[in-house]
Chains A and B, each alone.
Chain A
Amino acid sequence: DAKTTQPTSMDCAEGRAANLPCNHSTISGNEYVYWYRQIHSQGPQYIIHGLKNNETNEMASLIITEDRKSSTLILPHATLRDTAVYYCIVRVVGNAGNMLTFGGGTRLMVKP
């Protein structure tokens, strides 16, 4: 799996968009970008994933650069409940064992 680099922490004002970057310069052609988050004392929660096209769902948008070496998770209107650690994971679909490897992640603090 390709290595990812994320900022350690970020702040965002409530109601504003939160833009969380992730660098994955060694990503290969068959690797997807996944985003999960973990709110304190809870299990990780899947947010979104994509291969090369931008994706949007009810939780967030995922913007992947054309060269696929970086991506940005966008929470359009952050709320206090979005305070969590956000993990960017790059994986090949169908990897044996299907183990998710969570790195350090970005600790997002949404402030009133």
Chain B
Amino acid sequence: NAGVTQTPKFRVLKTGQSMTLLCAQDMNHEYMYWYRQDPGMGLRLIHYSVGEGTTAKGEVPDGYNVSRLKKQNFLLGLESAAPSQTSVYFCASSYSLRANTQYFGPGTRLTVL
């Protein structure tokens, strides 16, 4: 039982490049989330999903897109990276909307030059 995994762990992009971050969970959770954490700050929700094939915007969705084609995977895409998107990205999952117990992945450290 690996829990929540994220790939890649680190990535450096140039402004304007695109990339996809992959989150996978093996706990059969319905709900998945993408957060970003900037230095010295708390987490901010980017997008979330309440089930396979559904996604919704969070607090800071601009510049990001997401897809949930399979229940266990939640992808975060940056179509045209900007330096303001330099951050640590965390994926999380939870069993249900009634559960505020979220399980987090180890994070992806992204730098946009």
Contact = CB atoms under 8 A, between A and B. Distances in A.
Interface of A: 32, 34, 41-46, 49, 87, 89, 91, 93-105
Given A44-B104, A99-B45, A100-B43, 16 more contacts: A44-B92, A46-B102, A87-B42, A89-B100, A91-B100, A93-B98, A98-B33, A98-B97, A99-B33, A99-B58, A99-B59, A100-B100, A101-B43, A102-B43, A103-B42, A104-B42
13 contacts: A34-B100, A41-B107, A43-B92, A43-B105, A44-B104, A45-B104, A49-B100, A49-B101, A89-B100, A95-B100, A98-B31, A98-B94, A98-B97
Nearest to A102: B42
A59 B104 CA distance: 17
Interface of B: 4, 31, 33, 35, 42-43, 45, 48, 56, 58-59, 90, 92, 94, 97-107
B24 to A, nearest CB: 14
Nearest to A87: B42
Given A97-B45, A97-B56, A99-B48, A43 B100 contact: no
Contacts of A41: 107
A42 B107 contact: yes
Contacts of A103: 42
Contact of A94 (B58, B92, B98, B106): B98
Contact of A100 (B98, B102, B105, B107): B102
Given A98-B31, A103-B42, A43 B104 contact: yes
